[in-house]
Amino acid sequence: MLVGIDLGTTNSLIGFFGDNGPELIPNALGEYLTPSVLSVDEKGTLLVGRAARDRLVTHPHGTVAAFKRWMGTARETRIGNKNYRPEEFSALVLRSLLDDAEAHLGEKITEAIISVPAYFGDAQRKATRAAGELAGIRVERLINEPTAAALAYGLEQRMNGSTFIVLDLGGGTFDVSILEIFDGVMQVHASAGDNNLGGEDFLHLLIKTCCTDLGIDQNKIKKEELAQIESKCERAKKQLSTQQEASLEVMVNGEVKQWTIHQDRFESLAEPLIQRIRHPIERAMRDAKLLPNQLDEVILVGGSSRLSLMSKLVARMLGRLPLRHVDPDRAIAMGACVVAGMKARNVALEEIVMTDVCPYTLGVEISRQDHGKQISHGHFSPIIERNSTVPVSRSSTYSPMHEGQVKLELNVYQGESPLVANNVKLGRLEVALSPRLSKEDNSVDVRFTYDVNGVLQVEATVLATKKSYELILQENKGVLTDAEIRARLESLAEIKIHPRQDQENIAAIAKAERIYAECLGQDRDEIQHYLVQFLGEIDRQDRHTIAKHREQFNKVLADFEARLGW
Amino acid sequence: MNCFRTLAIKQTASIQEIKRAYAGKLKQHRPDEDPVAFQEINAAYQSAMESAKQRDAWLQRKADAEQQKQLAIAAGNYSPDDDVEYYDEDEYYFYDEDAAETDSDEAPLPEINDKALTPAAEVEPDSVIAGPDDESQATVPSDSDDNAVASDDYIFRLDDFIEELDNISRQEDDRLLKKWLDDHPDLYSLYLKHQITEPLITAFAQTETPIRPPALEIVIAFFGLDSVSTNHYLIDHQVEMARQKSRLFWHAAAIAYHRRNRKRNLHERWIDQSLRGDANRFQSLYLLFIPGLPSKVMEIANESKDEYGNLNPEFISPPHYQFWSEANDKTRIVSQRFYMALTRSAVLTLIVTLLLGSPTTSAGILGLFAGVFGSWLSIALLRIGNYRLDLYVIRKQTVDKGDILLAIICPIIVITSLFFDSEVISYPAWLLTFLCFSLATTGANKESRPDSYFAFFGGAAFFISMLSFTFVPEILSSSKFILAANLAIGLIVLHDEIYTRIHDCTFEETREKSTWLFWTGITLIILSFGSLAIHFP
């Protein structure tokens, strides 16, 4: 069974394409959204999901979140007593999702479709595939998140012959895609985005403002207290989407502090972030050569798109209000399930064909000689222009700068600036030339092939000798080599994760601990009382009774939260 | 068209039909299954869509023009002269109802020049009028209807926007400008932004008072015209024009500012005077003679030129500019010949003296030198065909410093040798030594064969004399000493040439490997002069 996975910065989901359409699979706690958070407990066992997220507040040192942002880099983080790479974190989350799916479907899962932001570069896509491998599955295909979201809407609405724009503001990334559906074809016209813009940024903004207002130095307080502030600010952020004002209470150094923020102030503080959101939208529209009135729909997906300033911005820029009737948290996962169904050639989906585009311009570094015989270096010569439909293969011919050169250095870059200094270097290829030949005879034909999964192949052929060279983009330190993946696979296998049966209990306890940390004074005593009671019941009772007690306990916690207005 | 054939549709197909055909083909050749076929189909689809869109736009314009004509006739205003060419018949002549039905194999049709049909420019370029007064900043058409873009409640006025933009850019705070643009409430609307992009950049391309280059770049980035993928061809052109205008205007302004405010040294002030035509004869000769100054004059003169090569009449008078360009004209350089004649004839004289042994008196040598130099120079001048003895100075790059030294020191030594005659210090010998040493310092011009040979002989002579002197000091003042010394110099000077000839390798490779020859020569010189010093009481 091919499953579809949304591996998000904040939450991850898994599902499949069933007889009635895309279906999401609940996790051990009965929820569809599994927070992409990992935590390690005192015994060294790993927790994934909501329990881990609650532990962010109570045990910030052993918990890690939002690691999707580090994909494609070589960053190593230490939790417990081990160093992990971002791929490993993602792999652990994937493993947890897959376990849930296997329990639900009753069969082993060996392959999956995983969603990635459309703007993810080569290194990040490779890291996602590596994560899949480390989780023990084959990544059948990487699907761009906006495309997935569009599919989710497309299916529900059966829009035929319409052009629409998908704005995906997730926890850590922002993606814009412009698509058109006609006659069973889903065509992507343009793609743009910002890999470092998401709900997290708005959260950090709130945290910074809160700390500045209350006179707290983020570096000086305890990590637990900071985690508490973060969690409360997160809540406040969500409240601001529906209310005009949000307030919170924090305890720092034994002192209780109150803080209120008004929606208008939040929006004016978020100005720089709003500008960053504008830019990819404009670029995508420009590349698709569309005017706002030529769009049929505007779709917002991604949890952070619930922020009221998003719909305001959309209205200002595109002159209309966006569609949001598919749950923005689930839309992408649903779309991934649709793709899974298509891949498995489920009969109901025979007729849809998808095309996609590559979001970056890809090219090489060249030097130019102008009329005055001045040579200037560091120019970018595009070979594949951005938003070309993939798969795409293009070539250009380059000749050496001087006579008698023995080699030609091809530096492969990705980006939009005419100068390579502002672009991202993907790799380097050296081609040997024969110094005896003239400059023209020594020209090299460089072919870039970009496939549906966003992997770039570079092939350089010396025209005179017909000798060709291929580029292996391994110089990028952010990418794991096959050998490294195998090594890490072994080390991952040793990690213990809590078995599913225990997860519900652990989640309940973690939640209680979090609430305890967040509330103050008398409420704390109350929580502690309930927690101790529950812990005692776990020790004493059998599984069924525990489940009943757990339900009760959860209800108590929920009431508690409601009472405190959370 | 091939694209239509690939999609198996007629050229008259509507956009709907093209899409449907594409969808059909796509299902047979999916991108992940058959990438090569898919790419072909996709490319065909894109071309077909482009061409269909252009055709539709053309048809629309034709219909509009017809409608206008009918309206004019009804109102009684029509006259054949008013027929505005909204479209160019020739561009779409293939769109002949009957011809289009036939198979495309028969008539090879020309490629559509997609640059000819542009999205309609909202502002006609010739309606841009520069303000009459010097202070004017806004230069867009004053006709309010053309540049006002309706946006629901109110009208966005482009010229007001440009004026405000101008004012802010003058404050020289680029961050402020960026913030103003980012925060501008009207420009959030993509529709409006798109509408004003082209008129705005066209205005900037044609204005007489452009904004500063950094400010212009910010505006260009804000409107997304700065990425490496092409925008529309015409817009790219306007962007370039705007950049050029700004650069030229502000470069000239910067120069003018510089000139007014910068402290200029003596040379620069004289150069300015000379270019304006106010310099006196002495100043001109000085500028002419001193190596490096004439080319500096050209540098300063060229700074004041704009990119089209026009001189700024405020600073440069054309006839004087002409004089200085001729002074720097390599092909007409007389003095290059002069210096060469001077130095080479000195070498020739002395070699002849040494070989033949006569004349031995200083006066004789001087006379021989004068003779050789005179004839050399005359022949050179005859060959150029320039009888004037105006002395143009060589460009800094072609004159060897050694030559200059020689030209100055040679006469001095020769003259003093007339008055002093000593056994110990034989002036011709010393002259020759000095000559060869300076040849060594110049590093003889490798491309010029005669130069190399002269240097070689001189060097050879020096080398031998050094050698013999080192071991046989009595011959201090002997001419053989001089010959040896010259040989050494030659070795130094030509070490890389010798090495290259022996090993038949490239010049670059020689440079590193032949330095040992060079250092041998240096050592010998040091030894020789060392022993010379010892023998002097």
A466, containing H or E segment? none
pLDDT exceeds 50 at position A454: yes
- Smallest CA–CA distance, residue B322 to chain A, in Å, is 21
- Smallest CA–CA distance, residue A312 to chain B, in Å, is 11
CB–CB of A183 and B191 under 8 A?
Answer: no
Nearest to B39 among A271, A292, A393 (CB): A393
The sign of the CA dihedral A350, A352, A355, A359 is: negative
User: What pLDDT, in 10s, does the model give residues A212-252?
Assistant: 988 888 888 877 788 888 888 988 898 888 888 888 888 87
CB–CB of B191 and A452 under 8 A?
Answer: no
Could you tell me if A345 and A176 are in contact, meaning their C-beta atoms sit under 8 angstroms apart?
no
pLDDT recorded at residue B531: 56
Q: Which amino acid is at B169?
A: S
From B43, which residue of chain A is nearest by alpha-carbon distance?
A: A389
Could you tell me if A390 and A450 are in contact, meaning their C-beta atoms sit under 8 angstroms apart?
yes
Q: Which amino acid is at B415?
A: I
Give A199-271's CATH code, choosing from 3.90.640.10, 3.40.50.720, 2.60.40.10, 3.30.70.20: 3.90.640.10
- Bond into A60 cis (ω within 30): no
CB–CB of B191 and A293 under 8 A?
Answer: yes
pLDDT exceeds 90 at position A202: yes
Q: Can you tell me the distance from the alpha carbon of A78 to that of A61, in angstroms, rounded to the nearest whole number?
A: 9
Beta pairing partners, A458: A448
Give Cβ neighbours of residue A560 (< 8 Å, ≥ 6 apart): A515, A523, A526, A527
Q: Using an 8 Å CB-CB cutoff, list chain B residues near A287.
A: 229
* % of chain A at pLDDT higher than 70: 93
Specify the higher pLDDT residue, A361 or A482. Answer: A361
Q: Can you tell me the distance from the alpha carbon of A506 to that of A550, in angstroms, rounded to the nearest whole number?
A: 10
Q: Can you tell me the distance from the alpha carbon of A211 to that of B78, in angstroms, rounded to the nearest whole number?
A: 74
Give the residue among A365, A443, A366 at the shortest CA–CA distance from A405: A443
User: What pLDDT, in 10s, does the model give residues B179-205?
Assistant: 999 888 888 888 888 888 888 988 898
pLDDT exceeds 70 at position A283: yes
Using H for helix, E for strand and C for coil, what is the string for A85-147? CHHHHHHHHHHHHHHHHHHHHCCCCCEEEEEECCCCCHHHHHHHHHHHHHCCCEEEEEEEHHH
Q: Using an 8 Å CB-CB cutoff, list chain B residues near A392.
A: 39
Give Cβ neighbours of residue B356 (< 8 Å, ≥ 6 apart): none
User: What pLDDT, in 10s, does the model give residues A517-533?
Assistant: 777 677 778 888 888 88
User: What pLDDT, in 10s, does the model give residues B45-85?
Assistant: 888 888 888 888 888 888 888 888 888 888 877 666 655 55
pTM for this predicted structure: 0.64
Q: Using an 8 Å CB-CB cutoff, list chain B residues near A283.
A: 224, 227
Residue indicated by tokens 């439909």: A389
pLDDT exceeds 50 at position A302: yes
User: What pLDDT, in 10s, does the model give residues B299-332?
Assistant: 778 777 665 566 767 778 887 887 777 666 654 4
A481 DSSP assignment: P
CB–CB of B182 and A275 under 8 A?
Answer: yes
Give the residue among A12, A277, A266, A292 at the shortest CA–CA distance from A167: A277
User: What pLDDT, in 10s, does the model give residues B369-417?
Assistant: 778 777 776 665 555 443 333 333 333 334 444 455 555 555 565 555 5
Specify the higher pLDDT residue, B326 or A43. Answer: A43
Nearest to B194 among A291, A316, A386 (CB): A291
Domain A362-475 in this protein, CATH class? mainly beta
pLDDT recorded at residue B511: 55
- Smallest CA–CA distance, residue B193 to chain A, in Å, is 9
Q: Using an 8 Å CB-CB cutoff, list chain A residues near B23.
A: 182-185, 353
Least confident segment among B30-39, B231-240, B488-497: B488-497
CB–CB of B35 and A313 under 8 A?
Answer: no
Q: Can you tell me the distance from the alpha carbon of B427 to that of A148, in angstroms, rounded to the nearest whole number?
A: 95
Most confident range, picked from A298-312, B261-275, B448-462: A298-312
Among A139, A140, A286, A379, which would you mutate to test the B interface (most chain B Cβ atoms within 10 Å of its Cβ)?
A286
Q: Which amino acid is at B250?
A: W
Could you tell me if A455 and A473 are in contact, meaning their C-beta atoms sit under 8 angstroms apart?
no
- Smallest CA–CA distance, residue B56 to chain A, in Å, is 16
Most confident range, picked from A536-545, B130-139, B359-368: A536-545
**Per-residue confidence at A512, pLDDT binned at 50, 70, 90?**
confident
Residue indicated by tokens 């076929």: B37
Specify the higher pLDDT residue, A119 or A239. Answer: A239
- Phi, psi values for residue A26, rounded to 5°: -80, 155
pLDDT recorded at residue B82: 57
Q: Using an 8 Å CB-CB cutoff, list chain A residues near B229.
A: 287, 361, 382, 385-386, 416
From A315, which residue of chain B is nearest by alpha-carbon distance?
A: B189
pLDDT recorded at residue B107: 36
pLDDT recorded at residue A148: 85
Give the residue among B301, B267, B317 at the shortest CA–CA distance from B287: B267
Q: Which amino acid is at A161?
A: G
Give the residue among A422, A426, A354 at the shortest CA–CA distance from A383: A426
pLDDT recorded at residue B533: 57
Tokens of B142: 């004053």
| Three-state secondary-structure class, residue A310 | helix
Least confident segment among B166-170, B363-367, B521-525: B521-525
Task: State the greatest distance between any 2 C-alpha atoms of chain B, in Å, as a whole number.
Answer: 120
Q: Are strands A2-7 and A111-116 parallel, antiparallel or unpaired?
A: parallel
Q: Can you tell me the distance from the alpha carbon of A333 to that of A15, in angstroms, rounded to the nearest whole number?
A: 7
**Per-residue confidence at B150, pLDDT binned at 50, 70, 90?**
very low
Among A147, A163, A282, A351, which would you mutate to test the B interface (most chain B Cβ atoms within 10 Å of its Cβ)?
A282
Tokens of B503: 């090993």
Segment A374-386 mean pLDDT: 86
Give Cβ neighbours of residue A551 (< 8 Å, ≥ 6 apart): none
Segment A451-470 mean pLDDT: 82
Mean pLDDT rounded to a whole number for chain B: 65
CB–CB of A353 and B30 under 8 A?
Answer: yes
Q: Using an 8 Å CB-CB cutoff, list chain A residues near B183.
A: 271
From B187, which residue of chain A is nearest by alpha-carbon distance?
A: A317
Among A176, A185, A457, which would you mutate to test the B interface (most chain B Cβ atoms within 10 Å of its Cβ)?
A185
| Three-state secondary-structure class, residue B180 | helix
Nearest to B27 among A141, A271, A353 (CB): A353
pLDDT exceeds 50 at position B97: no
**Long-range CB pairs of A420-423, under 8 A, 24+ apart, other chains included:** A420/A365, A420/A378, A420/A379, A420/A380, A421/A378, A423/A380
Residue indicated by tokens 């030559």: B403
Nearest to B31 among A319, A363, A452 (CB): A452
In angstroms, how far is CA A345 from the centroid of its own chain? 27
* % of chain B at pLDDT higher than 90: 1
Give the residue among B456, B457, B478 at the shortest CA–CA distance from B466: B478
- Smallest CA–CA distance, residue B473 to chain A, in Å, is 51
Q: Using an 8 Å CB-CB cutoff, list chain A residues near B27.
A: 184, 351, 353
Nearest to A418 among B27, B39, B228 (CB): B228
pLDDT recorded at residue B423: 47
User: What pLDDT, in 10s, does the model give residues B408-459?
Assistant: 555 565 555 555 554 444 545 555 555 555 554 444 444 444 444 555 555 5
CB–CB of A292 and B22 under 8 A?
Answer: no
Beta pairing partners, A181: A162, A186
Specify the higher pLDDT residue, B530 or B277. Answer: B277
**Per-residue confidence at B131, pLDDT binned at 50, 70, 90?**
very low
Could you tell me if B138 and B166 are in contact, meaning their C-beta atoms sit under 8 angstroms apart?
yes
Nearest to A417 among B24, B190, B228 (CB): B228
| Three-state secondary-structure class, residue B292 | coil
* Distance (Å) of CA A274 to CA A68, A198, A278, A304: 22, 11, 6, 13
CA trace torsion A128, A130, A133, A139 (10° rounding):
40
pLDDT recorded at residue A262: 92
User: What pLDDT, in 10s, does the model give residues B194-240?
Assistant: 888 888 988 898 888 888 888 898 999 888 887 766 567 778 888 88
Domain positions in chain A: 199-271, 362-475, 500-563
User: What pLDDT, in 10s, does the model give residues A61-112?
Assistant: 888 988 888 888 888 888 888 888 999 999 999 999 999 999 999 999 999 9
User: What pLDDT, in 10s, does the model give residues A125-176?
Assistant: 889 999 999 999 999 888 888 778 878 877 535 545 788 899 989 888 888 9
Could you tell me if A165 and A284 are in contact, meaning their C-beta atoms sit under 8 angstroms apart?
yes
* Distance (Å) of CA B28 to CA A267, A351, B9, B21, B25: 50, 11, 16, 11, 5
**Per-residue confidence at B534, pLDDT binned at 50, 70, 90?**
low
In angstroms, how far is CA B76 from the centroid of its own chain? 60
- Smallest CA–CA distance, residue B190 to chain A, in Å, is 5
Nearest to A391 among B39, B183, B190 (CB): B39
Could you tell me if A332 and A8 are in contact, meaning their C-beta atoms sit under 8 angstroms apart?
yes
* Distance (Å) of CA B244 to CA B128, B140, B534, B535: 18, 18, 69, 71
CB–CB of A185 and B35 under 8 A?
Answer: no
**Interface residues of chain B, partner chain A, Cβ below 8 Å:** 19-20, 22-24, 26-27, 30-32, 35, 38-39, 42, 46, 182-183, 188-191, 193-194, 224, 226-229, 231
CB–CB of A451 and B22 under 8 A?
Answer: no
- Bond into B141 cis (ω within 30): no
Could you tell me how many CB contacts below 8 A there are between chain A and chain B? 89
pLDDT recorded at residue A413: 92
Give Cβ neighbours of residue B429 (< 8 Å, ≥ 6 apart): B477, B479, B481, B482
Q: Can you tell me the distance from the alpha carbon of B192 to that of A319, in angstroms, rounded to the nearest whole number?
A: 10
Give the residue among A62, B435, A407, B198 at the shortest CA–CA distance from B427: B435
Beta pairing partners, A446: A396, A460
Q: Can you tell me the distance from the alpha carbon of A387 to that of A275, in angstroms, rounded to the nearest whole number?
A: 22
Give the residue among A386, A186, A414 at the shortest CA–CA distance from A286: A386
* Distance (Å) of CA A525 to CA A507, A509, A548, B27: 20, 15, 23, 65
pLDDT recorded at residue B120: 34
pLDDT recorded at residue B441: 42
Least confident segment among A388-392, A445-449, A535-539: A535-539
CB–CB of B26 and A353 under 8 A?
Answer: yes
pLDDT recorded at residue B386: 39
Give the residue among B237, B182, B413 at the shortest CA–CA distance from A278: B182
* Distance (Å) of CA B175 to CA B166, B171, B179, B213: 14, 10, 6, 14
CB–CB of A353 and B31 under 8 A?
Answer: yes
Tokens of B519: 């250092």
The sign of the CA dihedral B54, B57, B59, B62 is: negative
Give the residue among A78, A96, A86, A88 at the shortest CA–CA distance from A133: A88
CB–CB of B23 and A182 under 8 A?
Answer: yes
